[in-house]
Amino acid sequence: MKFLHTAFKNIKAPFEKGGKLEKYNKALTAIDAFETLMFTPEEVTHSGAHIRDGIDLKRTMSTVILAMVPCLLFGMYNAGYQHFLQLGVEASFWEMFQIGLVKVLPLVVVSYGVGLGIEFAFAMYKGHSVEEGYLVTGMLIPLIVPVDIPLWMLAVAVAFAVVFGKEVFGGTGMNILNVALTARAFLFFAYPTFMSGDKIWVHEGMTNDAISGATILGDLAAMKGGLEQLSFTAQDMFIGLIPGSVGETSTLAILIGAVILLLTGIGSWRIMLSAVLGGATMGLIFNAFGSNGLMQLPFWQHMIVGGFAFGVVFMATDPVTAAQTNKGKWIYGFLIGFMAIMIRVFNPAYPEGIMLAILFMNVMAPLIDHYVVEGNIKKRLKRATVKTAVAK
Amino acid sequence: MSKDIKIKRGLNIPLKGEAEKVLGTAERSDTFVVRPTDFKNFTPKLLVKEGQEILAGAPLFYNKEYPDVKVGSPVSGQVVEVTRGPKRKILGIKILADKDTRYVEVTPVNATTMSGEDVKKRLLDQCLWAYIKRRPYGTVARPTDKPLAIYVSGFDSAPLAGDCDYILHGKEKEFQAGLDVLKQLTDGKVHLNLHRELNTDAVFKDAKGVQINWLNGPHPAGNVGVQIHHIKPLNKGEVVFTVAAQDVALIGNAFLTGKYDASRLVALGGSSVKSPKYYRTIQGASISTLLAGNVEGDNNRVISGNVLTGTKVGTHGYLGFFSKEVNVIPEGDHAKFFLTDGWAGPGFNKHSASRSYFSWLMPNKKYDLDTNTNGEKRALVVTGEYESVFPMDIYPQHLVKAIMIGDIELMENLGIYEVDDEDFALCEYVCTSKTPVQQVVKEGLALIEKECG
C-alpha cells in the first residue's frame, strides 16, 4: 500500500507551505480526511503514556455503523414487503428488497452527501481536522424517516441539524441535542404531513389508495377501542414486518445491533438497561389502568413497536448528548424509557414518544450530571470539615 | 490496623518482553548524567562548575525555593558538561566517572536513637531528601512539611515494571533502616502497601514498625496515590510523604554506612529487547551499555521508567533519578493501512480496553505495542472510559475538563489534591480521543501549586 501512501503525499505537496497552490492550503483538511481514513497517521507519542490503546474514534464510529447494518438491510426488505402486502400482490424476496434498495439507498446517499459536505466545509473554514461524528449520524437519519420522504426535505433537515444542532456549538463532541433526532424533529415540525398520519409509512401510500399503512401506534391512538383491532401479531412486531420508519421496525435487527454495541463495550449497558426498565415501569402502570387500547397494550409490546427499541439502543446511548457519569446514566436512561411510553399514551396526536423523550433528556443530561458530581464534591467537603472539627 | 483493599477498576496491559529474574552483566558506564527535569516543579541552582572534581554524594544542585533540598552526585569524577535548553534551563549535568567510586563519608548512625529534627538534617545533608515526594502535587517534599503519614508501595503494578521483590531481595537490613528513618519524620504512621496475590519477599513481610496494608486488583493498585486514596484520602491542606521502596533501602543504606550509594538493580524489558533481564547499575548511568547487542531493530523508543509514565531518553540516554526500569519498544512512526493494521482491520495484534478489536478473544495474548498513537487527537466524545480504569472516588473526566478550563475552585472540589499525573496514565492509554491526559494533569497541578502553594 506504499504507492497509495506516496500518492497522498504527492497530492498534498502543492498545497503545503512553499507549494504552488499554497493559497488554497485549506484543501489540505479535506485531503487529510481521506488520507487518515486510509492510513492511521505516523504520529507517535512523546511523553506520558508511550503506548496507546488500539481504539480511535474511527473504530468506535464504524462499530456503531456496523451495528446498524442489520437494521438497514431489514428496513430495505420491509419497505418492499409492506408495499406488496398492502397491494395484495405476491412478490419474491428480491423484488421486495429491490424496492427498498431503490428507495432507501438515495436516502443514505443524500444524508451522507449533505452532512459530510457541511462538515468538510466547516472543518476547512475553521482549520481543524474533519471529525468522525457525522459518520454515525449520517446513517441514523435515513433509518428514522418514512421511506417516501422527498429527498430535498431530507437534505434540508440534515443541513439544519448539522449547522444548528452541532456546528454552532463547536462541532463533534460539543452538541447538546442528538443530531439525528434534531433532523427528525425538524422534519416532524416543518413537514408534518410527510412525517405523521396513516398514509406515509408504506411506499406509495400517499399516491395509491389501495395502500393504507398506518402504524400500530397510530391505529391504537386513533381508535378508542381495545386491542382487538390490531392486525399484527407480537411476532410480526418483533421480527419487524410492520409499517414504520425505515430502520426502526425490527426489534430483532435492533437487538443484533445492541449485542454488537454491548459486546464491544461501545454502547452503554447502563443506559440501555435503565431505559428498558423505565419503559417497563410506565407500561405496567398503564396496564394497571388499561382504559384504552394504548393503555392496554402489554408493557413488553410497547418495547417492540414504534421507535422505542431503536431509540434506546442507538440514540439514547450517544455519549455526547447522554449523561456522562455512571450514576447519571442510570437516571437518564430510566427517564427516557419512562417518558417515551408516557408521551405515547397521553398524546394521541403524536403516538410516538421516544424522539421527544430523548431530546428532552438530552437537555436535562447536564443537570443530572451536575447533581451527581455535586454529590461527590459534597462528600469530599464533608470529609474535610469533619476532619477539621475533630482536630479542634 | 492493617487494611484490606480491593481494587476493582483498572487494567493490566499484557506486554511482551518482561524482564526475567536473572542478573545480567554489562560494562560499567563511563559517563553519568543527573537531570533536574526528573523532579517536578523544581528550579535547580547549580553548586558545581564544569571541570570540577566531585565525590559521590556531593551536592550537584539545589532547589531554588527550598535551598536545603540538594541532589547528590551518584558517582565520583569530573563534571564535564552542563547541558542547557531554551532560557538556559539546565537539562543535565554530565559527570565523567572515576574507575573506583570515592564517597563523601559521614559517620554511620542509627535512626531509631535520633530525634526527628536530626534525622531530617541528616537526610538533607546527605542529599537523600530528594528521594522523598509529597502529596499533593507529587513534587519533592518540602523540609517545612509536617506529613500526616508516609506511604511506601511495596509493589509496582505498571506494565513491565521492575519487580520490587527481586530488586530488594536480601536487603532486609537496609530496608528496615530506611523505614526507621521515615518513622522519625512523622507523628503518624508509615504505611507499607503490598499486593495480596503476588509473592511477597521477606524484606517486606518482616518489616517492623509499620502498618502493612494489603491490596488486590489490577494496575494502578501499585500506584501510591491510589493506595493513599483508599487508606485515608487526602483533604485540602493535608500533606503526606511517599517514597519508592528501592529508595527506602537506599536511604537506609546511607544511614547504616554513611555513604550515598546510588547503585541499583534495573529491569531491562520491552518487546525490542532480545533477552530481557535485570542489571546492576547506578542511577544516571548511560543506558547504551545495557543495550549493547541486546536490542532488535534500529528504530526503537528507549524509555527510562515504565511505558506508561517514563521519559523518552534515546539509545544514548541516561537512567533517570527515580527509574528502576528501562523499557525498549518499537517506534510506531509509520502509517498503518486501514484494512490491515489500521482502524478497520480485525486487530488481532491491537490491544484495547474496549472489545472493539478481535484481540479480546485471546485473553492470554501478550502484545508487542509500538509508540503510534493509533489515531488522531479528537474532541472528547466517549464517556465512562476513564472511570473504568481509575479506581478512586473522583470523576476523572470532569477533573480533566476542569483543568482544561483552568477553574481552580472546581479542580479543588473535584479532588485534584488527591491525584498525581501518574494516576491518570491509564486514562491516557485508553482515551479514544487521544487526549494527553497526563500532560493536562501535570499542568493543572503546577497551576494549583503556584496559586495555592
Tens digit of pLDDT for each residue in B183-239? Answer: 999 999 999 999 998 888 889 999 999 999 999 999 999 999 999 999 999 998 999
pLDDT bin (cut points 50, 70, 90) of residue B323 is very high
- Whether the per-residue pLDDT at A335 is higher than 80: the answer is yes
Mutate to test the interface with B, among A56, A128, A178, A381 (most CBs of B within 10 A): A56
* Least confident range of A24-38, B150-164, B393-407: A24-38
Residue B257 distance to chain A (closest CA, Å):
37
Plot region of B300 (φ>0 → left; ψ -120 to 50 → alpha; else → beta) = beta
A131 touches chain B (CB under 8 A): yes
Whole-number pLDDT of residue A24: 81
Q: Do residues A141 and A196 touch, judged by C-beta distance below 8 A?
A: no
Higher pLDDT, A351 or A207: A207
Residue B275 distance to chain A (closest CA, Å):
21
Say which of B327, B357, B395 has its CB closest to residue A54.
Answer: B357
User: What's the whole-number average pLDDT of chain A?
Assistant: 89
| Other CB atoms within 10 Å distance of the CB of residue B411 | 26
Helix ranges (DSSP H) in B265-367: 288-291
Residues in chain B, total? 453
Q: Which of A87-91, A222-226, B291-295 is most confident?
A: B291-295
Q: How far apart are CA A139 and CA A117, in angstroms?
A: 15
The tens digit of pLDDT for each residue in A108-123 reads: 999 999 999 999 999 9
pLDDT bin (cut points 50, 70, 90) of residue B161 is very high
Whole-number pLDDT of residue A30: 87
Whole-number pLDDT of residue A26: 82
pLDDT bin (cut points 50, 70, 90) of residue A385 is confident
Mutate to test the interface with A, among B356, B369, B370, B413 (most CBs of A within 10 A): B356
A327 touches chain B (CB under 8 A): no
* Least confident range of A387-391, B172-176, B261-265: A387-391
Mean pLDDT of A94-107: 93
Say whether B332 and A42 touch across the interface (CB within 8 A). yes
Say whether A56 and B376 touch across the interface (CB within 8 A). yes
Contacts of B289 (CB under 8 A, 6+ apart): B26, B27, B28, B29, B281
Whole-number pLDDT of residue B87: 92
Say which of A41, A45, A268 has its CB closest to residue B376.
Answer: A41
All three cell numbers of A260: 454488537
Say which of A5, A57, A59 has its CB closest to residue B335.
Answer: A5
Whole-number pLDDT of residue A348: 67
Q: Where are the beta strands (DSSP E) in B85-170?
A: 90-97, 133-135, 139-140, 150-153
* Least confident range of A33-37, A53-57, B124-128: A33-37
| Percentage of residues of chain B with pLDDT beyond 70 | 100
| Percentage of residues of chain B with pLDDT beyond 90 | 90
Mean pLDDT of B110-131: 94
- Whether the per-residue pLDDT at B397 is higher than 80: the answer is yes
Say whether B375 and A55 touch across the interface (CB within 8 A). yes
A5 touches chain B (CB under 8 A): yes
Mean pLDDT of A123-139: 91
Residue B94 distance to chain A (closest CA, Å):
23
DSSP state of B62: E
The tens digit of pLDDT for each residue in A230-282 reads: 778 888 889 999 888 999 999 999 999 999 999 999 999 999 999 999 999 99
The domain segmentation of chain A, as residue ranges, is 59-375
User: What's the whole-number average pLDDT of chain B?
Assistant: 94
Say whether A40 and B434 touch across the interface (CB within 8 A). no
CA distances from B88 to B82, B91, B357 (A): 10, 9, 47
- Whether the per-residue pLDDT at A229 is higher than 80: the answer is no
Q: How far apart are CA B212 and CA B153, in angstroms?
A: 10
Contacts of A180 (CB under 8 A, 6+ apart): A136, A137, A140, A141, A144, A161, A315
- Whether the per-residue pLDDT at A364 is higher than 60: the answer is yes
Q: How far apart are CA A277 and CA B285, in angstroms?
A: 61
Residue with cell 463532541: A173
The tens digit of pLDDT for each residue in A294-334 reads: 888 889 988 998 889 999 999 999 999 999 999 999 999 99
Whole-number pLDDT of residue A27: 84
Mean pLDDT of B55-77: 95
Say whether B337 and A319 touch across the interface (CB within 8 A). no
pLDDT bin (cut points 50, 70, 90) of residue A1 is confident
| Closest CA in chain A for residue B392 | A376
Residue with cell 497551576: B447
- Whether the per-residue pLDDT at A391 is higher than 60: the answer is no
A386 touches chain B (CB under 8 A): no
| Closest CA in chain B for residue A51 | B371
The tens digit of pLDDT for each residue in A165-195 reads: 999 998 888 999 999 999 999 999 999 888 8
Mutate to test the interface with A, among B374, B380, B431, B434 (most CBs of A within 10 A): B374
Contact map slice: A 164-203 vs B, CB within 8 A: 170-174
pLDDT bin (cut points 50, 70, 90) of residue B388 is very high
| Closest CA in chain A for residue B337 | A39
A43 touches chain B (CB under 8 A): yes
| Single-letter code of the amino acid located at B213 | N
Whole-number pLDDT of residue B64: 94
Record the pTM: 0.93
Whole-number pLDDT of residue A223: 64
Say which of B235, B341, B436 has its CB closest to residue A48.
Answer: B436
A46 touches chain B (CB under 8 A): yes
Q: How far apart are CA B127 and CA B94, in angstroms?
A: 18
Whole-number pLDDT of residue B409: 94
Whole-number pLDDT of residue B357: 92
- Whether the per-residue pLDDT at B107 is higher than 90: the answer is yes
Mean pLDDT of A11-25: 83
- Whether the per-residue pLDDT at A390 is higher than 70: the answer is no
Whole-number pLDDT of residue A165: 94
All three cell numbers of B410: 472546581
Question: Helices (H), strands (E): how many in chain B?
Answer: 11, 21
Whole-number pLDDT of residue A227: 67
> What backbone torsions phi and psi does residue B164 show, to the nearest 5 degrees?
-60, -35
Buried b (16+ CB within 10 A) or exposed e, B286-321: bbbebbeebbeeeebbbbbbbbbbbbbbeeebbbbb
For residue B271, list chain A residues with Cβ-Cβ distance below 8 A: none
Buried b (16+ CB within 10 A) or exposed e, A343-374: bbbeeeebbbbbbbbbbbbbebbeebbeebbe
A92 touches chain B (CB under 8 A): no
Mean pLDDT of B256-263: 94
pLDDT bin (cut points 50, 70, 90) of residue A225 is low
For residue A49, list chain B residues with Cβ-Cβ distance below 8 A: 307-309, 425-426, 428-429, 438
* Least confident range of A105-109, A329-333, A380-384, B391-395: A380-384
- Whether the per-residue pLDDT at B252 is higher than 60: the answer is yes
Residue A43 distance to chain B (closest CA, Å):
6
Q: Measured on CA atoms in the order A199, A358, B379, B391, is the torsion positive or negative?
A: negative
B337 HSE (CA, 13 A, CB side): 8
Q: Do residues B111 and B173 touch, judged by C-beta distance below 8 A?
A: no
Say whether A1 and B340 touch across the interface (CB within 8 A). yes
- Whether the per-residue pLDDT at A381 is higher than 60: the answer is yes
For domain A59-375, say whether CATH 1.10.10 is its number.
Answer: no
Contacts of B453 (CB under 8 A, 6+ apart): none
The tens digit of pLDDT for each residue in B330-348 reads: 999 998 898 888 899 898 9
Contacts of A102 (CB under 8 A, 6+ apart): none
Whole-number pLDDT of residue A341: 92
The tens digit of pLDDT for each residue in B365-384 reads: 999 999 999 999 999 999 99
Whole-number pLDDT of residue B302: 96
